[in-house]
Structure 1
Amino acid sequence: MAGRDSFLEVTWTDEVTGRHGYLVIDRLVRGAASGGLRMRDGCTLDEVRDLARGMTLKEAVVYSPGDAYVPFGGGKGGIDFAPHDPGARGVMARYVVAMKPLLEAYWSAGEDLGVRQDVLEEVALEAGLRSTIDAALRLVPDPAAALDRVRAGFAVSVDGVSLADLVGGYGVAEVALAAAQRVGLLGGGARAVVQGFGSMGGATARYLARAGVPVVGICDALGVVWHPDGLDVEALLRTRDRYGRVDRRSLRPGDRELPREDWLAVEAEILVPAALSYVLTEANVDAVNARLVVEAANVPTTAAGEAALTARGVPVIPDFVANVATNAWWWWTLFGDIAPTAEAAFGRISTTLRGLLHEMLDRAARTGGSPRAAALAMANERAAELPR
């Protein structure tokens, strides 16, 4: 799949603010593409293009011929606007109206960085769409029943949190635990640091801590919260605001605050970047103390940064394997491959992602390549089997 042009690239200008939004459909499978919409100040077309290509890989790598769900192609949207700005919802609404023909015909969208699914769903309904996944609904035998299944899944609450906000991080934690065991970290008291404490980072931290891996550092927009013996993740989650920021007034006496830029240097064996793209680069990876990097964010590591880590013997588990659970859960539920319950979701995620992790690492060991090279080969082979 490398070296080819995108199927479609759109640049949109908001008539009110003058800011730009983008949509890249990297590839269509059965006439459809899947991927989220992000909003951040400084979002670029190149970034959205990278993310769309990643979605093509993410879709393909989970292909199982026995499923009713046949993976889509990859697509991604991005808006160059600060999500905390009071005008953000209006910008998003106008973007969705502009992209409505493509949302109806090709692109099934969901939340990504800076976008909440409930708000995205609201503006989609206001624009006259049934849902943000209208394009996918064309491919199920009973669209109304399929949409009901997805909405039932979103209505499930686990420990007071929507299942939809947990499945992605649960999958990252499962991959991290399996990878840590493979490289011999779990027996030696592995610790973790998580950059980003939104739905993905928060759920990753929760399920790592519940599995007995102390989360010693959490980085949010305000800085780093650190404790050498492990943070009280559940308590911090209860104080988290909608932007993933921890209320510092809730910290325990032994917890410390560190500058935001110190997140890479926290002493921990497992590093989970779970927020922005391009945060691990050739310029900063020398500060990484971890012995394993698990990508919960989309494209958090540049090629040069990953090469430097690999040269040091630090494996990087690529995003399109580690964070695939949210996307896959949507479609397994929509097509009826799993019931809209927490038990079904967590069971399928654990089995699928741990299987992918071991397949990827086994292949890397045989070929002498990196985990990413092995995962790319897996995704390309599966993509070649998909119907057009």
Structure 2
Amino acid sequence: MTPHSPAPLISLTWTDHITGRKGYLVVDRLVRGVSSGGLRMREGCTLDEVAGLARGMTMKEALHFDADDARARYIPLGGAKGGIDCDPREPEANGVLVRYLRAVRPYVESVWTTGEDLGLTQDLVDRAAAEAGLVSSVQAVFPLLDDEAAARRRLADAFAVTVDGIGMDELVGGCGVAESALAALDRAGMAHRDARVSVQGLGTMGGATARFLSRAGLRVVAIADVKGTIANPAGLDVEALLAARDAYGTVDRSALREGDHELSADAWLTTDAEVLVPAAVSYAVDGVNQAWIQARWVVEAANMPVLPEAEALLAARGITVLPDVVVNSGTNAWWWWTLFGDIGADAEEAFGHTRRAMRALIDLMLARAEADGCTPREAAHAIVADRLPVMAERFGWYAR
């Protein structure tokens, strides 16, 4: 069962004439003539990776479509993704980003709404988009808005909201990931205080997820960054580690407390914990290192962190993978809930809406998996397969 077109609608490769760096854009599907998906920048990014992420965005959008909710202003879009093969920390990175956006400007203006993703903050994307001559990185959706000026003010106000020093654009994704994990624990009857968590990555998604899970009463016992794994069986001080991280999510080791230990980079996989959260890079769990995992749940905060072979082996061992297409979809949905006016620029309203939406999706997916005797990912695909034809019939691919 394939919940998307067998080949993407648009697939292109760009070569920077100055550095030779490659960039990619894949539009998997359009709804009402528009698609949605972030722009990532990382060394080694490939066209196949971007195509897989674009297909995932088609699924994420469809999963947030409720055909029976007449009150919803946000109508999900199609799926797309952009990627640039460059280390964002390189001195040349910003120039590459600007030239890439200039090259794909016609797509951003007409069919592709984009924003921050791995390696890029929204501020970087916004500044590069302005330098490339774009009005906004999401301007393709403006014709679908009832009041463009009000919508843009609402989104700008939402991005200006901070909670304990962290912006809403960072926090809402972690809120969704955390609620996904909590929903799974609740369905299994496990008390939050009895659950230990290991997180790979303390960047945008991993940091926010660790904060929300810790505040929900779970014990975060391991966090990995590029320097290695920080662990403490008694529980880490998540707030102190967040305060001590740099822009890339790397923790200043001088902030470690007595009882905190520095372990190897892959020790987060072997940590004794009930919940494992890969929140850093794609392809982190493969057919070999999956054997080290003893957690009960793997909650995919990153995009495509568990390879298909590894997921099958984990399932055979009774370990449940909560898939990225559901778990980390909250950030994208928050953008559109805010822009279309389903929620305002208010933190508690955003968190409440995100929690309700994510818990409903997780419950629906897990109930479908139990009924069909399949994995949660297969259940998510089945839900998407049900919804895409309804979206196509009701809204069309190309109609404005």
TM-score by length of structure 2 reads 0.95
What is the one-letter code of the residue matched to 2:199?
A: V
The answer on 1:146 being equivalent to 2:151 is yes
What residue is the counterpart of 2:239 in the other structure? 234
What residue is the counterpart of 1:385 in the other structure? 390
What residue is the counterpart of 1:96 in the other structure? 101
What residue is the counterpart of 1:259 in the other structure? 264
What is the one-letter code of the residue matched to 2:282?
A: S
Show structure 1 runs of 4+ deviating over 3 A.
none
Query: What secondary structure, in the 3-state scheme, does the structure 2 residue paired with 1:272 have?
Result: strand
The answer on 1:333 being equivalent to 2:338 is yes
The 2-side partners of 1:220 and 1:373 are apart by 31
Displacement after TM superposition at 1:153 (Å): 0.5
Of 164, 167, 185, the match for 2:169: 164
What residue is the counterpart of 1:353 in the other structure? 358
The 1-side partners of 2:373 and 2:267 are apart by 33
The 2-side partners of 1:330 and 1:131 are apart by 13
Q: How does 1:243-254 map to 2 (within 5 A)?
A: 243-254=248-259
Query: What secondary structure, in the 3-state scheme, does the structure 2 residue paired with 1:12 have?
Result: strand
What residue is the counterpart of 1:56 in the other structure? 58
Gaps of 5+ in 1: none
Displacement after TM superposition at 1:185 (Å): 3.3
The 2-side partners of 1:238 and 1:61 are apart by 34
The 2-side partners of 1:149 and 1:155 are apart by 10
| 1:277-296 alpha-carbon deviations (Å, 9 max, x no partner) | 11111121000121101100
Query: What secondary structure, in the 3-state scheme, does the structure 1 residue paired with 2:277 have?
Result: strand
Displacement after TM superposition at 1:385 (Å): 1.5
The answer on 1:274 being equivalent to 2:273 is no
The answer on 1:29 being equivalent to 2:34 is no
* 8 A Cα contact 2:285 2:307, kept in partner: yes
Displacement after TM superposition at 1:144 (Å): 1.6
The 1-side partners of 2:4 and 2:108 are apart by 25
What is the one-letter code of the residue matched to 1:149?
A: R
What residue is the counterpart of 1:107 in the other structure? 112
* 8 A Cα contact 1:185 1:269, kept in partner: no
RMSD between aligned alpha carbons?
1.1
The 1-side partners of 2:310 and 2:386 are apart by 26
* 8 A Cα contact 2:193 2:218, kept in partner: no
The answer on 1:40 being equivalent to 2:42 is yes
What residue is the counterpart of 1:80 in the other structure? 85
The 1-side partners of 2:345 and 2:384 are apart by 27
Displacement after TM superposition at 1:2 (Å): 4.8
Using the TM superposition, name which of 121-130 and 331-340 deviates more: 121-130
* 8 A Cα contact 2:154 2:339, kept in partner: yes
Query: What secondary structure, in the 3-state scheme, does the structure 1 residue paired with 2:135 have?
Result: coil
The 2-side partners of 1:195 and 1:184 are apart by 25
The 2-side partners of 1:251 and 1:372 are apart by 37
What is the one-letter code of the residue matched to 2:138?
A: I
* 8 A Cα contact 1:69 1:331, kept in partner: yes
Of 98, 117, 121, the match for 2:122: 117
The 1-side partners of 2:17 and 2:148 are apart by 34
What residue is the counterpart of 1:301 in the other structure? 306
Using the TM superposition, name which of 63-72 and 273-282 deviates more: 63-72
Displacement after TM superposition at 1:26 (Å): 0.4
Gaps of 5+ in 2: none
Alignment length (residue pairs):
388
* 8 A Cα contact 1:174 1:354, kept in partner: yes
Displacement after TM superposition at 1:79 (Å): 0.4
The answer on 1:366 being equivalent to 2:379 is no
What residue is the counterpart of 1:7 in the other structure? 9
